[in-house]
Structure 1
Amino acid sequence: MSQLCLPFFFLLFISIPFKATSHGIETERTVLLELKQQLGNPLSLAHWNSSSSPCDWPEINCTANSITEVHLREKNIVVSVPPTICDLKNLTYLDLYNNFIPGGFPILYNCSKLQILDLSQNYFVGPIPNDIDRLSTLVSLDISGNNFSGDIPPSIGRLPLLNTLNIVQNQFNGTFPKEIGNLSNLEVLNMAYNEFVPMRIPSEFSQMSKLLYLWMTQTNLIGEVPESFDNLSSLQHLDLAVNNLEGPIPSSLFSLKNLTVVYLYCNKLSGEIPKTVDALSLIEIDLSVNSLTGSIPEDFGKLQHLEFLNLAYNQLTAELPTSIAQLPALRDFRVFQNKLSGVLPPEFGLHSGLEGFEVSENQFSGQLPEHLCAGGVLQGVIAYTNNLTGRIPESLGNCPTLRTIQLHNNKFSGEIPRRIWTTFNLSILLLTNNSFSGKLPSRLAWNMSRVEISNNKFSGEIPPGIASWSNLVVFQASNNLFSGKIPKEVTNLPRLTTLLLNGNDFSGELPSEIISWRSLTTLDVSNNKLSGEIPAAIASLPDLLNLDLSENQFSGEIPPEIGNLKLTYLNLSSNQLVGKIPKMLNNLAYEGSFSKNSDLCADHPILKLPDCNSKLNQPDKLSSKCIAMIVALSILASSIILVLSFFLVRDYRRKKYGQYLSTWKLTSFQRLVFTKRSILSNLTDNNLIGSGGSGKVYRIAINRLGDYVAVKKIWNSKKVDHKLEKEFLAEVEILSNIRHSNIVKLLCCISSEDSKLLVYEYMENQSLDRWLHGNKRRPISGMNSVHHAVLDWPRRLQIAVGAAQGLCYMHHECLTPIIHRDVKSSNILLDSEFNAKIADFGLAKMLTRHASAHSMSTVAGSFGYLAPEYAYTTKINAKVDVYSFGVVLLELVTGKEANNTDENMNLAEWAWQHFSDDKPVEEILDPEVKETSHLEEMILVYKVGILSTHASPSNRPSMKEVSHILRSCCLPNGHAAKKLGSKFDVAPLLGRDTPSYLSGYNHGKKGSEEDDNMTNIV
């Protein structure tokens, strides 16, 4: 009997803890279901129910049938964290990353076993509590990407188990304590992007002997780097960039055996770089933008693992150590803008896979190294403004990865290796101010967008094969020895914005049939021997701003249509032109434009020209009796013809028009108050308000109340242009699926076999660029009247906020994120209240949710707004829109055009140059709106524009951040604006390296693809 009972008692014994455990998990499920309710029952947690085990829910991890981890990242939580979550007594890991949680630091003191707490990327505010040490079991604390402020409390140094502390990108504006140095187990300390009060690095930090990773970029550090850092024996990654550190680099710093990364760029460090380097594990060194002197240490040649070396923007002298060229891992070498001299070591590229080689603005002499692309991965050679001589190495022509060659302002000579012209991925070729010779090729690399060869000795004719240079945006060939005729094929370049052929020996006539110059903004053929009449077709170029035909032999009259152009610069002087100048050009803005043309005149001249009326013989006047007879006979004949014709034509037209309407299909995306008949019947020249590369735009009245729509006609040919069809389909796909008050509304699509129409809401105040720049070119017509067509600052800020909100919606709120790819002031339209709306999505590309970037077959967008990474990579992401929008912000603040600063550089280059020279911001603000009452707002928007056009995409903010900052400008008293303005203080940014970067290659701190796609919430 007793033997039979043993199994029973055994089962009873083991069932007791099982029932207790089962009861425990049921209790914890109840806690979670209550938590779900307190969080507002988010749809993302709909699978949390009472019929399943919490341990099976993807957000929950269990150990021994008890909940130990809760992962609620990216669940769109918008309420505070309930303290009841600590009823999960065994909770060790709480992850709330990337939600919208408001309020102060959550009360979690009852979570007695909590080890890992991730509150990053939320909307938390206020200080870290002074009793944070009550969470004594914490091993990892991440509060980055929030709005915490104030001081870091000393109590944080009393978390004995803490291994990781991440407080990056908050609004801390107080102090951080030396007690952090007491965290003896700390391995990762990230404090970057916080505007602490100016502080020295506490010497106590050197006590953290286990510290592996120290990141304090842009934390307002002052003083010197402590010599005691040599105690950080485990340190691998040191980033103290973008601060105000001064003095020498500690001689002991490069003796840390485990050190792999050193970032000290953008400080005020001086003296020489330590000569002894024992940290042989170093992979990346960035000491750029300081005041370092002396020579580059020979010991750098010992760093067999070194991949990235950036010493740019210092005052380094002497020659480069030959051993650096022999480093086997070196990928990226940057020493531009120093005082280095001597010959470039010829072994560069032979021993490693060199990707970037930037030695511009030094005093190097001799030849360019022959083997730069020996590794087969070279992307950029930037060696402009030196004393280099000889020929370009033939080997560069066998480098398929090469994207940019910038050798201008040197003493090179000889012919360009033939293969360079057609190097597969080459996009930018800058050779101005050398002594190159030879002829132009018939073919160019498929992606070549910028060729600048002015001030050389190139000769011969422009080959007809130039028609194949289809992606060319800028062609500058001034002051060479070119001759012959300018071929008509040069007009077949659809993307061309700038054509400079002045100072050559061209003859004959300008091509009269301009086929594809729809994007041209600058045409200069001055100082040649061109003859014949000025082609009237020039007047059909919708974007032409600068026209110089001076010092030639043009004859005949000036085509009157040229007066309709919105020219900012015109020079027709020193020709043989005759007759009356166009009425619209009789303007003091064009003074001097017509000199040395002895037979030109003007009606009621404002310029120094003869009066046409005084030169012409007046014809005899007809008698009033003859005039009366002619008028009477004409009226009688016309009446008879009209009466006879009306009845014959009416029925025919009705029948024909009915058949015509039936060939059109209307697809509506909104509720319409018009018909396709009312649209089609009004597509007349009287209603034409614009034209461009992708079609014509009409303004059509839809009722008698003064309401209009805008109609974009995409093509009109039986032979469909596939490029335009692609743009058309892209625009319809995007606009028909998005709804936002700051994105232009697509009402419907009307299509037939040979034409496509897009019908939009009409924007009464047209485009932003008309308001910013139109009145500088000519009076603005067709706009609502405002005070002499000048936008005051509040309206400019309103426009900036609206446009940012539209782009933010596209990037962050659409189900499928959208990159516009052609953000510019002419694609920002304004309604009657000056609300901004993003328009023209023909170039936009849909991105899949998880794609890091898409490869683009050709460079899209508009010159001056193009993000520079187009020059060295075909992979782009939303940061290209951020760059372009940054240019728009600079336009709003300075009043200047994106491509016209009168200093041979675009607006972004000019603004960065001004910034890098430490000039006062007030100097470049638009004088038309510069008012003391708005000065802080304008400076903040300028800073956002500078930051948005940063060299490295990873260092640009997201559109969510930009929108948040700009909206803060509109808050009462601007308090948030001031806080955010200080947070985004860009005074010491690495972007001082901009000049050659904006010309095509990245000079900023290198960033990973993960960096490029990271979106932080301000």
Structure 2
Amino acid sequence: MAPRAKSPSIQASPSNIPPLICLLTLLLSSSLLPRSTSQSTSQEDEKQTLLKIKAGWGNPPALGSWSNSGARDHCNWAGILCTNGLVTKISLPTQNITGPIPPAICDLKNLSFLDLPYNDLSGPFPITLYNCSNLEYLDISQNLFVGEIPADIYRMSSRLTHLNLSSNNFTGEIPPSMGWLAALRSLRLHSNLFNRSFPAELGNLSALETLTLEWNPFTPARLPPEFGKLTKLSFLGMTRTNIFGEIPESFGNLVELEQLDLAWNALNGTIPGWIWELEKLKYLYLYANKFSGEINGTIRALNLVELDISKNQLTGSIPEDIGKLKNLSLLFMYYNRLSGEIPASIGLLPNMQDIRLFSNNLTGVLPPELGKHSPLWNFEVQWNSISGKLPEYLCAGKALTSLNVFDNNFTGEVPASLGDCSTLDNIQLYRNAFSGDFPAGIWSAVNLTTVLIHDNALSGTLPDELPWNITRVEMQNNRFTGKIPSTAKNLAVFKASNNLFSGEIPATLVGISRLQMLSLGRNQISGSIPPAVSAWTSLNVLNLSDNRLSGEIPAALGSLPVLTSLDLSGNQLSGEIPQAIGKLALNFLNLSSNQLSGEIPASLQNQAYDRSFLANPGLCSSSNSIKDLRTCGYRSKGSDKLSKGLLVLFLVLGAAFLSAVVAIGYSMVREHRRRKMDGDDLDSWKLTSFHALDFTEHNVVPKLTESNSIGSGGSGRVYRVVLRDRAEEIVAVKKIWNNRKMDAKLAKEFQAEVEILGSIRHANIVKLLCCIANDDSKLLVYEYMENGSLNQWLHMFQRTEDGQERSNPLDWPTRLGIAIGAARGLCYMHHDCSPPIVHRDVKSSNILLDAGFGAKIADFGLARMLAKGGEPESVSVIAGSFGYMAPECGRLRKVNQKVDVFSFGVVLLELVTGRRANEGGEDECLAEWAWRYYEEGGGLIDIIDEEIRDPLLYLAEMEVVFRLGLFCTAKMPSSRPSMKEVLQVLAKCDKRLGPQSTPHGQFDAAPLLQNQKG
């Protein structure tokens, strides 16, 4: 190595002293002082910058520690992390920070980590962050940002590795230039309002490991083959992104995938065989698509933990290879067309917890060792054609909570081992051919709430006291004997008709105030009906027919407030029918085949009950409307007969003449209206559009016919109109008649709805396309919502009395998605509209559902624009719907956004419990009932809607939503959260947002929602 040259020396002579001093001064200032004076100056600058940022956010209380007072170093302030005394990290989640991000934040030149989720930050995308040149991590999710992502987002820091913009209100398209942020490893854009496209250029992000696009209303598109270049991707989430077509073959290159979520889309074709060869794949969600064909390919994805391919059109058999997936804990294949036997190897899987194979065409017998080797807690194979016996080991893991095997061909006895299953909550074995004694130990399960075993050949007896929290027992059409239980505090439904029960009705049974249905017909029950039945305040149906009951009918039955069906026929009851029975609003009444006497109550003497009193020789009627009964005080004088006959004749002739006149007049009016509606006077209609339309009033008005009517309400009728006879072009038309009796009220509602819906745009608010009006009526033309209203799905599309399904029930993930969508719509109205909008009639029937069960707020007839944000508006009338109205609506007649929060809270309670808003019992609405139940310490599992009762899988989320519903329905408006806060809690509940969410059954509700009192 060559010797290093010596540096020239500096001679200290009188002539060069000044340059020497200058040089020393320069060296001291540039090399020695930065470690003290200069650094101190920089730190002071950063401190002042932080104070400027705090002021820009309005000095929120959460930043109280950011202060000049005291000697506390700014690196110790809340949310601040420093490296070598300089700020490198700001982390302030859930601090109620409002407003935009201050530009001064990028004066912190060393800032690399900015974490601001779950706040109230607003405004457009913060382009000021372009100046943060060292930024590596940015999370501004769960805020209120709006507008489009700028096309020049590529100007963000080239070091950026993590970008989370999820759960805001960003719209438009995802810019193609986002694909130029080459360092990105995590990109989260889910739960926004992107309504155009997602770019194929995202496939250029070769370092990307996480990509979430789910829950956005993108323009329908195919999956870009370019995404197959993301070879480092471990998580891809695209639930509800409007993708269709087949999965590209290029996706087979995504060999690092651990979670693939393409659920709730319109993907079709077969499931590609390469999916089963992704060796690192743990979570596969392809449910609610249109996949068809068989499940082909050798399964080498041996790390699979959860497999959900339900709600498709898959055929063929369940692959035997599934028995090789030793880590599999969740297997969902329900609502398909699968056939053949369930592979026996599934019963050997050591981690299996939840199996749902219902609604297929499966045959054969169940795996004999099912449950023996795993902690199985939920098993559902209903609606198949499976035969043989139930496996002996279903509860061997001491975890079985729910067993649903109804509507199959099972035979033999129910395994005695289930009698030792203390964890059992829900058992549904109905409509099979089970025989023998039902295991008595099942009635001792401490958490038992539901037993549906009807339509079998089971025998045995019931304990004198049913489990304290059991709510529903249906065991009709079996061979049970013995006495009726005397105690069941929370029992709501007890159906035990067509058995061999004997003895008397226990007096304590009539003290169950929550009982809604009691059916004990066709048994051998004797004695009298206990007189103290007034405690049955929730009873809707009472059937004691075809027994051996005697004595009189208790007059207290006539005081039951919600009784609609009463059947006491086929007994030995005597005495008169209590007059109070006539006060009931009965849909069904049968007192036939008894020994009743006296005159039938006057209110029951009509044709609606003409078959209700047969075979009671002692009964009489003063009306001729009841057949086969003698007339009370009957006299045989001919003159009386003649005068009565003439009177009847004159009355009949007069009524016929009057009916003819009315019919002719009505026909003329109807013809006049028909001629106008059919186009004879179409020129009188005026169309006002709010969107670009490709139809006119000529396509709409003539089709407002009775056959196209789909509903009606207090202000008019709703029609389903197919435009130009093309099924894909459908609109909903709400017609409001402008008759003189409703002029002022309807005109105000009409004007409100047009003004509001014509001016706002949001993916979760129903789109008003146009208004069509003439002198007689006004028409509002909306986008058509294929799945109707939430009210229909919760309260109308349920099982009929004979057990037939009217429609598939809404599962919990769908309900939660509906709640989130509706909350987004209301959040937009309350927080993003200027002035804010109060709906004033939020209810489940005004939450409409599109083809993918996306929720949209509808019916703004009662909405009001607030003159000033947050200030209540005085209204002249009480508006809203019973059960949904906030208490202040009837007391103060002042409304602000909190009345909508109350109503939405009732909807949340409906989603969890399945009850109607006015279904509380004891003169309570649902909100009052829920608060009372909560304050009395009732368990959540008892009140969850039976259609969604999956305790270990979703119980924690249901508890959060239930408690959020309580929080929203607090009596004091100031105690209720804002819709923005409601949306944040609901979004946190959604476990479909990727790895940042907690595992099933591990959701921690406490940080989100503390105990709230009304």
Q: Does 1:46 align with 2:89?
A: no
Q: Which string of whole-angstrom CA distances, capped at 9 and with x for unpartnered residues, describes residues 499-547 of structure 1?
A: 1101223233222233743332221111223222111222233332321
* Runs of 5+ unmatched residues, structure 2: 1-11, 13-20, 637-842, 845-877, 888-896, 969-976, 993-997, 1010-1014
The letter for the 2-side match of 1:69 is: K
**Deviations, residues 772-803 of structure 1 (Å, cap 9, x unaligned):** xxxxxxxxxxxxxxxxxxxxxx9667975859
C-alpha separation in 1, matches of 2:945 and 2:967: 11
CA gap of 1:436–1:1006, structure 2 versus 1, over 3 A, is farther
- The separation in 2 between residues aligned to 1:865 and 1:50, in whole angstroms, is 58
1:883 deviation in Å?
9.1
SS of the residue corresponding to residue 845 of structure 1 reads: helix
Shift of 1:866: 9.3
Aligned partner of 2:692 in structure 1 is none
Correspondence list, 1:579-658, <5 A:
579-602=598-621, 607-608=626-627, 614-615=633-634
Say whether residues 1:22 and 2:40 are aligned partners: yes
Q: What residue number does 1:79 align with?
A: 99
- Matched with 1:253 is 275
Paired letter, 1:20: S
Residue identity over aligned pairs, in percent, reads 43
Counterpart selection for 1:406 from 424, 428, 438: 428
Q: Which residue matches 2:4?
A: none
Aligned-pair distance for 1:828? Answer: 8.8
- Aligned 1:132-151 pairs, distance under 5 A: 132-135=153-156, 136-151=158-173
Aligned counterpart in structure 2 of residue 37 of structure 1, from 29, 40, 55: 55
- What is the deviation of 1:122? 1.2
> Where do 5+ consecutive residues of structure 1 fail to align?
618-767, 770-793, 847-853, 887-957, 966-982, 990-1004
The answer to whether the 8 Å contact 1:843/1:860 transfers is no
Residue of 118, 124, 145 corresponding to 1:98: 118
Q: Counterpart in 1 of 2:15?
A: none
1:403, 1:872 within 8 Å by CA — same for their partners in 2?
Answer: no
> Are 1:478 and 2:567 counterparts?
no
Contact 1:546 1:567 in 2 (8 A): yes
Question: Taking structure 1 as reference, are residues 298 and 1007 closer, same or farther at Cα in structure 2, changes over 3 Å only?
Answer: same
Amino acid at match of 1:129: P
1:422-471 deviation per Cα after TM superposition (whole angstroms, max 9, x unaligned)? 12222111101100012222233332221111111112332xxx223223
Aligned to 2:98, the other structure's residue is in SS state coil
Q: Is the 8 A contact 2:320 2:345 kept in 1?
A: yes
- Which fold has the larger relative contact order, with Cα–Cα distance below 8 Å and residues 6 or more apart in sequence? 1
Aligned-pair CA distance for 1:37: 1.3
Cα distance between partner residues in 2 of 1:236 and 1:281:
9
Contact 1:191-1:215 at 8 Å conserved across structures: yes
Q: Aligned partners of 1:871, 1:166: CA distance in 2, in Å?
A: 28
Partner of 2:530: 511
Superposed, which structure 2 residues align to 1:362-511 within 5 Å?
A: 362-462=384-484, 466-511=485-530
Q: Which residue of 2 aligns with 1:901?
A: none
Give me the whole-angstrom Cα distance separating, in 2, the residues matched to 1:805 and 1:838.
15
Match of 2:206 in 1: 184
TM-score by length of 2: 0.65
Q: Distance in 1 between matches of 2:940 and 2:920?
A: 23
Structure 2 vs 1, CA of residues 323 and 842 (structure 1 numbering), >3 Å: closer, same or farther? closer
Given that 1:602 and 1:609 are in contact with CA atoms closer than 8 Å, whether structure 2 keeps it comes out as: no
| Cα 1:606–1:839 shift into 2, 3 Å | farther
Q: Which residue matches 1:791?
A: none
- Structure 1 residues 584 and 407, CA, compared in 2 at 3 Å: closer, same or farther? same
Alignment correspondent of 1:296: 318
CA distance in 1, matches of 2:950, 2:319: 31
How far the C-alpha of 1:340 sits from its partner, in A, is 0.9
- Give the aligned partner of residue 135 of structure 2: 114
Greater alpha carbon shift after TM alignment, 505-514 vs 377-386: 505-514
Partner residue in 2 for 1:1010: 1003
SS in 2 for 1:826: coil
Q: Is the 8 A contact 2:278 2:301 kept in 1?
A: yes
The aligned residue for residue 668 of structure 2 is none
Alignment of 1:306-385 (within 5 A): 306-385=328-407
Post-superposition offset of 1:837: 11
Match for 1:1010: what amino acid? F
Q: CA separation in 1, counterparts of 2:267 and 2:941?
A: 40
Indicate which of 936, 948, 959 corresponds to 1:877. 959
Correspondence for 2:233 among 166, 190, 211: 211
Residue 825 (1) aligns with residue 917 (2): yes
Normalised TM-score (structure 1): 0.64
* Per-residue Cα deviation, 1:58-109 (whole angstroms, up to 9, x for no partner): 2111111111112232222231222221111111111221122222111211
- After superposition, the Cα gap between the structure-2 partners of 1:137 and 1:186, relative to the gap in structure 1 and judged at 3 Å, is same
Q: What CA deviation, in whole Å up to 9, does each residue of 1:538-583 have, x standing for no partner?
A: 2233332321112222221111122333433322233222222233
- The within-5 A match list for 1:789-808 is 805=898, 808=901
Give the secondary structure class of the aligned counterpart of 1:62: strand
How much does 1:240 deviate?
0.4
Q: CA 1:393/1:841 → structure 2, altered by over 3 Å: closer, same or farther?
A: closer
Distance 1:962 1:498 in 2: 39
Distance 1:866 1:600, change over 3 A: farther
For 1:214, the aligned partner's letter is L
| CA–CA distance in structure 2, aligned partners of residues 301 and 864 of structure 1 | 33
For residue 274 of structure 1, the aligned residue among 296, 302, 305 is 296
Q: Secondary structure at the match of 2:190?
A: coil
Question: Which residue is 2:178 aligned to?
Answer: 156
- CA deviation vs aligned residue, 1:178-214 (integer Å, no higher than 9, x gap): 1111101100001111111111111111111110001
Q: Confirm whether residue 549 of structure 1 aligns to residue 630 of structure 2.
A: no
CA gap of 1:520–1:371, structure 2 versus 1, over 3 A, is same
3-state secondary structure, aligned to 1:556: strand
Give the direction of change, closer, same or farther, for the CA distance of 1:827–1:317 in structure 2 (3 Å limit). closer
Give the aligned residue type for 2:84. Answer: A
* Whole-angstrom CA distance in 1 between matches of 2:602 and 2:999: 54
Distance 1:873 1:540, change over 3 A: farther
Does structure 2 retain, via aligned residues, the 8 Å contact 1:822–1:881?
no
2:145 counterpart of 1:124: yes
CA displacement 1:264-317 (0-9 Å, x = unmatched) = 000000111124101111111001010111111111111111111111111111
Give the letter aligned to residue 826 of structure 1: N
Cα distance change, pair 1006–161 in 1 and its aligned pair in 2 (3 A): closer
CA 1:828 to 1:241, structure 2 compared with 1: closer, same or farther past 3 Å?
same
1:818/1:844 contact within 8 Å kept: no
**Structural mapping, 1:951-962, within 5 Å:** 960=979
Quote the offset at 1:392 in angstroms. 0.7
Separation in 2 of the partners of 1:553 and 1:137?
A: 88
Q: Secondary structure at the match of 2:37?
A: helix
- Aligned position for 2:866: none
In the alignment, structure 1 residue 67 sits paired with structure 2 residue 159: no
How many angstroms apart in 2 are the aligned matches of 1:237 and 1:323? 24
Change (3 A) 1:962 1:475: farther
CA–CA distance in structure 2, aligned partners of residues 151 and 873 of structure 1: 33
Q: Tell me the number of residue pairs that the alignment of Structure 1 and Structure 2 aligns.
A: 713
CA contact (8 A) 2:202 2:227 kept: yes
Give SS of 2:339's match. Answer: coil
* Aligned mates of 1:261, 1:819 — CA distance in 2: 27
416-425 or 229-238: bigger deviation: 416-425
2:949 to 865, 868, 876: 868
Query: Does the aligned pair in 1 maintain the 2:425–2:449 contact within 8 Å?
Result: yes
Equivalent pair of 1:174/1:197 in contact (CA under 8 Å): yes
How far is the alpha carbon of 1:15 from its aligned partner? 4.3
